[in-house]
Copies of this chain bind each other. A is one copy, B any other.
Amino acid sequence: MPQQASQRRSLLQEARCQTCSLSSLCLPLALELEDMGQFDAIIRRRAPLKKGEPLFRQGDLFTSVYAVRSGSLKQTTSEGNGNDQLTNFYLPSELVGLDGIDESYYPGSVIALETTTVCEIPFDRLDTLSEELPELRGQLYRSMSKELKDDRRMMRLLSRKTADQRLASFLITLSDRFRRRGYSPFSFRLSMSRADLGNYLGLAVETVSRILSRFQQQEVVAVSGREINILDMPRLITLAEEEEQAVTPR
């Protein structure tokens, strides 16, 4: 993922909502400065996770949700037998662990894809605080609702789209998420492996690799390892939607 400069600055210092550059995207989005102080007070600092380290594991007791501060993570669910399903990638300002509320344990493991820092938000305190702060409550409802909406989009992708469309859609979505966070929407680094990508998109690794090669050949994107350059966004959008649907009138 783009630059993790200032890695060395004191994390405790950085970890205050009032000074956090993500506060306009994150949970306290809608809060007044003084309310933000209250919210800030319930947050727990965590040591940065190294690549491959789990934030929590499937089956762990649910206690907190987490806001991603820097880096990225993946969520996977295992179903007894070997094969896991990767259900989500999380980028800075996104909220992790909301699907653990229902059963009071986490239904999937969440693992850092690179060095990653998060803010831990104990859920019982968040709930209590949301009683007093309607804006916070609203934001929490919205976060969950947005995730529901995104899930529906993902189901559509998995059930109706071809492999080409899936890759194109994924790149567009990622590009958009970077843009919203102030990074270049055209040039970025994937923090996940091709295997992760395939698992997430419901494709074999080989298929992912092949399609990326083809996109590159068609000069839609330039791919160099995990470095991505979107060269022709309009074309990519077309690819995501219609898949060469040959102009069949009617």
Contact = CB atoms under 8 A, between A and B. Distances in A.
Interface stretch (A37-45, A154-162, A180-188, A222-230): A154-162
Interface stretch (A7-15, A19-27, A142-150, A213-221): A142-150
Interface string A97-114: 011111100011000000
Interface residues of A, number: 47
A77 B155 CA distance: 11
Contacts of A142: 101-102
A154 B155 contact: yes
Number of copies: 2
B149 A151 contact: no
Interface in A154-182: 154-156, 158-160
Given A151-B155, A152-B99, A134 B145 contact: no
A208 to B, nearest CB: 13
A99 B149 contact: yes
B81 A145 contact: no
A107 B159 contact: no
Interface of A: 77, 79-81, 83, 85, 87-88, 98-103, 107-108, 127, 130-131, 134, 137-138, 140-149, 151-156, 158-160, 199-202, 241-242
